[in-house]
């Protein structure tokens, strides 16, 4: 634009008889010719909101800068070989849409998302209906100024896919790759799975994902955070999911390890595992999901791997919300649960299928009287399940979250 400014100034100082309108036309022509070597323009803010609207996939190395609001104008994919960096304090807002028009940020196999917020400047994914701004975050105000923390289904969510092993099959036998739910089969960016458990899809730290889970089909919604075939070279820690219509976090195979995970006011299951996920969740809080606190499914093919869920506190009911099962597993599930404390259980909430041979319980505490413990277990009470106990999570690491600001973690 510098060449345009100097040329325009020269023309305006010429003593000629051209009209001002003709001068402006000539100036525009000079800009187009003389500045043709300028780089391609970046997305510009919408005049209505000031948001930077994103409508094209990420195909190179792109940075979304702190202090800005980026608006997802559809399903935006970080394609294979590309990397999206999101700076601390950035706000990303998804437009409304359902079915094929559902908005989401999708990281394809071979792509990378480097979204590393901080406790002081978290990165927030939310809906365009949310009036939160980067200035709010910088001031330490992490709550939405206009949306209640139980409003869900306003946009899609975040989907990360990788090349790690999965356990899947069809009528012809085992499959090493499948299409993730929520992405049309015509979009090859939706494939996940492979043979590289050390695969690296990037890094996600101090991220809050809110008000998502829009419908993509009959009875089918997008999870807050979907991890399909994600390898253990990926870093995922300090994540908050607020009011997602479907599951909070769902793992489809892969080997990624996660820590400091929080799910609050979820519309379905809090943690859902499928297809032989082979990683660990360490330190977590779950607060009143509408579905199961844990939905832990077994392998779907011949590949068998197990995962570990440990050091967590689960609030299973509140004044206006009651979860379903405390722990729901299949007969072929393969998981170890250890050092988990359930708060406020109510009649009807249970740990089911405690005889599944590859499900192991170690220091699972339910805050009820010992005489009532059997009412919360479907079958004989395993040795690793006891009454009473105390919080098993380090809740202090979640002081940056909306759940903490709203008092949702009080007393834990």
The full set of domain ranges for the chain reads 2-34, 52-405
- Which candidate, 55, 132, 53, places its Cα nearest to that of 89? 132
Cα(319)–Cα(139) distance, rounded to whole angstroms? 31
Determine contact, residues 66/90, Cβ cutoff 8 Å: yes
- Residue 328 token pair: 């729901």
- pTM (2 d.p.): 0.88
* CA 315/CA 138 separation, integer angstroms: 30
Nearest-angstrom CA–CA distance, 316 and 291: 10
> Could you tell me the two tokens for 323?
């979860």
Tens place of pLDDT per residue across the chain (412 aa): 433 334 333 333 333 333 333 333 333 333 333 333 334 344 555 545 679 999 999 999 999 999 999 999 999 999 999 999 999 999 999 999 888 788 999 999 999 999 999 999 999 999 999 999 999 999 999 999 999 999 999 999 999 999 999 999 999 999 999 999 878 888 999 999 999 999 999 999 999 999 999 987 656 779 999 999 999 999 999 999 999 999 999 999 999 999 999 999 999 999 999 999 999 999 999 999 999 999 999 999 999 999 999 999 999 999 889 999 999 999 999 999 999 999 999 999 999 988 899 999 999 999 999 999 999 999 999 999 999 999 999 999 999 999 999 999 999 9
Q: Domain 52-405 carries which CATH code?
A: 2.160.20
Nearest CA-CA partner of 126 in 100, 93, 102, 151: 93
> Please, is 162 exposed, middle or buried when counting C-beta atoms within 10 Å of its C-beta (0-12, 13-18, 19+)?
buried
């Amino acid at each position: 634009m510098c060449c345009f400014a100097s040329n325009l100034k020269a023309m305006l100082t010429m003593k000629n008889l051209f009209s001002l309108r003709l001068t402006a036309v000539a100036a525009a022509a000079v800009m187009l010719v003389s500045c043709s070597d300028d780089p391609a323009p970046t997305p510009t803010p919408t005049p209505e909101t000031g948001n930077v609207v994103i409508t094209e996939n990420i195909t190179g190395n792109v940075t979304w800068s702190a202090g800005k609001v980026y608006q997802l104008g559809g399903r935006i994919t970080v394609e294979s070989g590309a990397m999206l960096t999101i700076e601390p304090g950035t706000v990303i807002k998804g437009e409304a849409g359902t079915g094929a028009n559902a908005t989401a940020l999708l990281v394809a196999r071979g792509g990378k998302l480097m979204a590393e917020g901080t406790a002081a400047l978290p990165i927030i994914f939310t809906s365009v209906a949310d009036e939160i701004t980067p200035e709010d975050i910088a001031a330490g105000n992490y709550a939405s100024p206009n949306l209640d923390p139980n409003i869900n289904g306003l946009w899609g969510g975040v989907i990360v896919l990788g090349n790690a092993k999965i356990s899947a099959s069809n009528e012809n036998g085992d499959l090493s790759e499948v299409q993730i739910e929520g992405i049309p089969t015509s979009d090859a960016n939706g494939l996940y799975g492979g043979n590289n458990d050390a695969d690296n899809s990037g890094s996600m730290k101090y991220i809050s994902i809110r008000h998502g889970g829009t419908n993509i089909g009959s009875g089918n919604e997008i999870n807050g955070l979907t991890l399909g075939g994600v390898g253990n070279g990926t870093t995922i820690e300090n994540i908050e999911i607020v009011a997602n219509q479907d599951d909070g976090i769902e793992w489809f195979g892969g080997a990624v390890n996660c820590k400091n995970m929080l799910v609050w006011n979820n519309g379905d299951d809090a943690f859902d595992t499928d297809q032989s996920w082979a990683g660990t969740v360490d330190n977590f809080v779950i607060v009143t999901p509408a579905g199961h606190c844990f939905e832990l499914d077994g392998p779907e093919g011949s590949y068998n791997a197990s995962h570990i869920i440990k050091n967590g506190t689960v609030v299973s009911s509140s004044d206006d919300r009651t979860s379903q099962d405390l722990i729901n597993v299949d007969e072929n599930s393969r998981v170890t649960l250890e050092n988990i404390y359930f708060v406020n259980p109510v009649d009807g909430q249970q740990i089911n299928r405690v005889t599944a041979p590859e499900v192991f319980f170690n220091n699972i505490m339910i805050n009820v009287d010992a005489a009532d413990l059997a009412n919360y277990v479907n079958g004989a009470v395993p040795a690793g399940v006891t009454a009473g106990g105390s919080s098993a999570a380090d809740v202090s690491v979640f002081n940056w979250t909306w759940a903490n600001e709203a008092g949702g973690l009080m007393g834990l």
